[in-house]
Structure 1
Amino acid sequence: MAIERHVRIYEAPGGTYESMEVYDPAAGEQPGVLLFPNFLGTKEWDFDKAERIAALGFKVLVVDFYGQGKRGTDMESGSGLLQELTADRALMRDKLIAHHAELFKLPGVRPGRVAAVGFCLGGKCVLDLARSGADIAGVVNHGVYDAPPFANAAMVAKLLVCHGWNDPLCPPEATAALATELTEAGVDWQLIAYGHTGHAFTAESVPLTADASFGFQPDTNRRSWQAMVDFFAESF
């Protein structure tokens, strides 16, 4: 197995985007997975994660949701880009739908339904993609749940939410609101809440805070990865 990376530049609502294709070109036809990064945008961490997913038997597109040349380098710059993207949730939805369509253009992506996984802001992206009614087999969310200010389309994706119980960006009321939203929508959903875990629990370079509200939690990282692997096996 020789997994390769290939830059993919394309036009979509809002301008030009520079995403990354990650796959084994010798593997033949495989299901596709969209990977949406955290609020900093695409980076080496996401490409490494995509390689691990590709090794499971997928063609992965690491999505540039900000646009070519737009990347966060710290909390301030990343937060500014995040606010720009999420200020218009309808336009954001249209961008997500375009990225979903782009995945099917990768060499060897099996026709039909695909999956999506997102971290931090990327978690909001994959939820909004599911809310758009896009044809997705499964969606894996790691944090950020707030619904857009308009009605959802009929959702067809199965959803796995990996939730850090101490995450201040996703307090209990937000978690309960998401559960209510998904239940009322009649979708197949599951939520795994991890104790002593906060936001960014998959980010190896971020130390866990004393109150466990932010930072890497190795046990949760390992457990949530396995939950995702099992979920993908069921979804496909």
Structure 2
Amino acid sequence: MKILHYFTPLLLLLAFSCTEKAATDSQNSVSTKGITTKDVTYNFNGNNYKSFVAYKGESEEPRPVVMIIPEWWGLTDYAKDRARQLAELGYFAMAVDYYGDGKTVNTPEEATKLSTPFYQIPINAKQVFDAARARLLEFPAANHNKIAVIGYCFGGAQALNMARQESDLKGAVSFHGNLMTGIKPKNNNVPLLICNGVDDTFVSAEEIAAFKKEMDSSHVKYTFIDYPNALHSFTNPASTAMGEKFEMKIAYNKAADEKSWNDMKKFLADIFK
């Protein structure tokens, strides 16, 4: 398995860049009224996992599934809030536990240690994703034939990783994630939406160019959107404070957050037609 060496120098810095928690008064916070939420546990490779699902009402009518891959910090409230938002839109949402036991971390060192294997050996990320996906089979409300994946920072990179390896996904969305150039797409059938900050110093112009070249040569359908004045982690309201704390170039951008969420909504509506 090819190791993506160019990610190694960035791992510690990127761990800083994925913010720890969403602010409780975030403009993205939604009421849970009418939304069913559950922790779902399962075992994979001898480890226990605890992902989080959200869907509107108790109806068992199948609805399209959106799987969410969280930031480097694990399955925080931020990812769960995004799941609730997607449930309000009528989707069956699952925020995926990548570290086991619903674990979250508080330091860049911990985040780097836990996330590095998923970059170095992409099949590791696929296996964890597939274990969570298999758990969906137990929910009649989840349409197992209509599944998309979205992700933030680390999760955005892994969403693109899944699109390259999971041929039956309906689509993938990356929010301010690295582009994982070097993993050849398994097919060209999974459309992509990449939401990138123009001023994101963690995603270089060279990486963007290499990604576009790879997608074009593989005939992958993708939409790449740059959001003006947006730094890394622009969708998370907690990122500004974290950027100040660690002296990193990350910050929340309300306009880019709202615009990228609306772009995602249109993308999901299109792929689930």
* TM-score, scaled relative to structure 1: 0.91
Shift of 1:135: 1.1
Secondary structure (helix, strand or coil) at the match of 2:101 reads coil
Partner residue, 1:56: 89
- Residue 253 of structure 2 is matched in structure 1 by 217
Whole-Å Cα distance in 1 between the matches of residues 249 and 216 of structure 2?
27
Other-structure match for 2:209: 176
Corresponding letter in the other structure for 1:23: Y
Counterparts in 2 of 1:150-161, with a 5 A limit?
151-161=184-194
Correspondence 1:197 to 2:230: yes
User: Are the equivalent residues in 1 in contact too, given 2:65–2:142 (CA < 8 A)?
Assistant: yes
Amino acid at match of 1:11: N
Q: Quote the offset at 1:16 in angstroms.
A: 2.0
The root-mean-square deviation of aligned C-alpha atoms, in Å, is 2.2
* Matches of 1:174 and 1:103, distance apart in 2: 34
Contact persistence 1:21–1:106 (CA under 8 A): no
| 1: CA distance, partners of 2:167 / 2:73 | 25
- Tell me the SS of whatever aligns to 2:51: strand
Alpha-carbon displacement from aligned partner over 1:39-80 (angstroms, at most 9, x marks no partner)? 001011111111111111111110001111532123232222
Residue equivalent to 1:226: 262
Mapping 1:114-125, distance limit 5 Å: 114-125=147-158
Q: How do residues 37-48 of structure 1 correspond to structure 2 at under 5 angstroms? A: 37-48=70-81
Question: Closer, same or farther in 2 for the Cα pair 1:172/1:103, shift >3 Å?
Answer: farther
Contact 2:69 2:151 in 1 (8 A): yes
Structure 2 gap ranges (5+) = 1-32
- In structure 1, the partner of 2:181 is 147
Higher mean alpha-carbon deviation, 53-62 vs 24-33, is at 24-33
Contact 1:5 1:23 in 2 (8 A): yes
| Contact 2:51/2:102 (8 A) holds in 1 | no
| Counterparts in 2 of 1:71 and 1:134: CA distance versus 1, 3 Å | farther
Residues 1:73 and 2:106 aligned together:
yes
SS at match of 1:111: strand
Give distance in 2, aligned partners of 1:140 and 1:51: 17
Q: 2:56 aligns with which of 19, 24, 28?
A: 24
**One-letter amino acid of the counterpart of residue 178, structure 2:** V
Q: Measure, in 2, the Cα distance between the counterparts of 1:212 and 1:194.
A: 19
Structure 1 residue 26: deviation in Å? 2.6
Q: How many residues align?
A: 235
Letter in 2 for 1:139: A
One of 29, 36, 43 as aligned partner of 1:4: 36
Aligned residue in 1 for 2:138:
105
Residues 183 and 13 of structure 1: CA distance in aligned 2, closer, same or farther (over 3 Å): farther
Scaled by the length of structure 2, the TM-score of the pair is: 0.79
Relative to structure 1, the CA distance from residue 189 to residue 106 in structure 2 (aligned partners, 3 Å threshold; closer, same or farther) is same
